[in-house]
Every structure is written in C-alpha cells, then in structure tokens.
Amino acid sequence: MKPFGYVRARTVPEAIEAHTSGPAARYLGGGTNLVDLMKLGVETPATLVDISALPLDAIEETPEGGLRIGANVRNSDLAAHPRVRTGWPVLSQALLAGASGQLRNAATTGGNLLQRTRCPYFQDLAQPCNKRAPGTGCAALAGHSRDLAILGTSPSCVATHPSDMAVALAALDAELTVEGPEGTRVLPVTELHRLPGAHPERDTTLAPGELIAAVTLPPATAGAPSAYRKARDRASYAFALVSVAAALRLGPDGTVQQVRLALGGVAPRPWRALRAEDVLTGARADEETFRRAAETELAQAEPLPDNAFKVPLATELAVATLADLATAQRAPEPQP
C-alpha cells in the first residue's frame, strides 16, 4: 500500500479544511469500501480525512414528520430504527438486503451512497478502465458483462452502482444536506450520482471537498406501503442482479393514486423509473398495467451480450413488487 497522510477531523469545517488544503484527499467513514480499494491500489489518496468522529450520527424527526439521518449513522442502526421500519420499510429492507451483518455494523449512511462500482475490471489494475484510469478504455465492453448495466450506459463505461440503500432513497425522494467549501446546499438524492457519459471517472455531482452531512426523508405517505425486492445469485452478501424499490398508494376505485419506483443493479446510478410511473399513475392497479409500465421503462434498455436476462428479470420483479403492494391495500374479498 502507498504511504498516505491521516487527519482525524472533529468538526465539519475542520474536515473540509483538511480535505481542501492538499491534493488527492478522501473522506474516510466506515472504510468498508475505500480501504479495500486502497489495498488493491485502485484508490491512492495522499491524505485520508477521517470523519467518523463528526457529530453526524443522529436520527431525528423533522418538524414536517420526515426523518433526518446523520451521514455517520451505521447501516445496521438505520435498518433497525423503529421509525424507519414502520414508516419507510423499503429503506430498512434495502439495508438488510445489502452486504453482511459485520459490514452493516461498520458502513455509514454517507459512505453507502458513495461506494464505488464492483465492476471486476475496475478493481483489476492489469485491465483498462476509464473509471479508474481515464482514457485507457473499458475492458468490460469485450469482457464478461453479466453483472453490468443495461440502462444509462455510454461507450466509455457500462458499470452498475452497487448500493441497495440508494435505490430505496431514490424511490423515497430523499434529499441530501451537503457541506462544502462554498457552504451548505440541499441536493435531491436522484441528482447525486452521474451517468458516465464521456467522464465515468466522476461518480457523483459533488464538488471537491464537499461531504454529505445528512439524508432527509420526506414524511411517509399515509396508506402507501413500500417494499424492496432484490434478485441475486445467493441469499445473502451478494450484489443485486436487479432490485426494485417501490411505494404505491391506491385510490378507493382501485386506481393508482401515487407511485414511486426505482430499479437497482441495472444502471450506473439508482434508476428512478419515471416512464413507468407515468404509465401507472391514474391507471387500474392490475397486473396488466404493472407489466405495461415495467415494459415501457425497460424499452430503453441496451443489454450487453451476457446480460439481456436483466430485462425480463427487472420486468417480472417490478410486476411482482407492485402486485404485492396493491394486494396489501385491497380489502379482503367477502367470504361466501
């Protein structure tokens, strides 16, 4: 491993100052992804700014009835929080579907959002990778593409974003509080991650020195159950082949009053399925509508040689998730 400097920050301004005062600094939270990448030689920061002691570890109700989650809240604590489990079950389920118990105990909310792709070529220094070394090419295009993206890709990069939690936050319309050298700003979580375009080396829209201080959930919509479903190669400790985060509210006439749908494992960022939401809103909540909505969203897919299976998998997973949420809201049929 290359030598690097280490600064333990006690306040947010101190952390930002330490990050911006020298080149190639990185913030260190739980370290569950960054330290691994440093061991592989993929990440080579000159300085680590340890933000784990910052006072960003609270989960608090907002005056509007939402929830403000500090960036240092551990994934385990967030998944188990009673308000999260009852008000925003999609978030708790997504967290519990990710990683292992040990990793969830160490990983933070901010770090989960900022984890990097698990594209195997990104982690292999012997392979060309535009995300790791801009301008070198993309080994995945002619390589093993089963786990890679089908939506939002570019000729420069076809990697997926690995976070489950971020997919749930995209479906919840969460907002981020971002602190940086220019002050504080609020950023919708759907605007945090970039599509690769010609610059896959830039994962996010954060400016140099900016750090995520908190995630805010809007108030949970009454009567709109939510859920997260994940298809993966084994039952635990595996990244999503495809995942679905959804919240659905039906009207008294059985039509869709409100829906929010996001897909994971299919794109370089959590994929908010806006085309599907347009089809669903106001339509009858039945399997035919759910299928038409999912197929409309997936019509934009551009599969690679090994991952065309993700199109029907995402379609079926979305249909099943929406059907379960609809069934949970319908009154039971009267018994003869």
Residues that bind ligand SF4 (CB under 6 A): 117, 119, 121-122, 129-131, 138-140, 157-159, 200
Nearer to ligand SF4, 66 or 264 (CB): 264
- What is the residue whose two structure tokens read 């400097």? 5
Helix (H, G, I), strand (E, B) or coil at 299: coil
Nearer to ligand SF4, 107 or 159 (CB): 159
Distance CA 80, CA 85 (A): 7
CA nearest 210: which of 190, 184, 189?
Answer: 184
Nearer to ligand SF4, 48 or 139 (CB): 139
Q: Which helix (H) or strand (E) holds 176?
A: strand 175-180
| DSSP code of residue 139 | G
The DSSP bridge partners found for residue 74 are 108
- What is the residue whose two structure tokens read 């594209």? 119
What's the closest the beta carbon of residue 208 comes to ligand SF4, in angstroms? Answer: 21
Strands 271-272, 256-264: pairing is antiparallel
What's the closest the beta carbon of residue 294 comes to ligand SF4, in angstroms? Answer: 25
Burial class (CB in 10 A: 0-12, 13-18, 19+), 291: middle
What's the closest the beta carbon of residue 166 comes to ligand SF4, in angstroms? Answer: 17
Nearer to ligand SF4, 81 or 161 (CB): 161
What's the closest the beta carbon of residue 149 comes to ligand SF4, in angstroms? Answer: 8
What's the closest the beta carbon of residue 159 comes to ligand SF4, in angstroms? Answer: 4
Nearer to ligand SF4, 267 or 319 (CB): 267
What's the closest the beta carbon of residue 265 comes to ligand SF4, in angstroms? Answer: 14
3-state secondary structure string, 12-42?
Answer: HHHHHHHHHCCCCEEEECCCCCHHHHHHHCC
Beta-carbon count within 10 A of 245 CB = 32
What six digits make up the tokens of 191? 């605007």
Nearer to ligand SF4, 86 or 136 (CB): 136
Nearer to ligand SF4, 139 or 211 (CB): 139
Distance CA 314, CA 322 (A): 12
Distance CA 246, CA 172 (A): 8
What's the closest the beta carbon of residue 40 comes to ligand SF4, in angstroms? Answer: 13
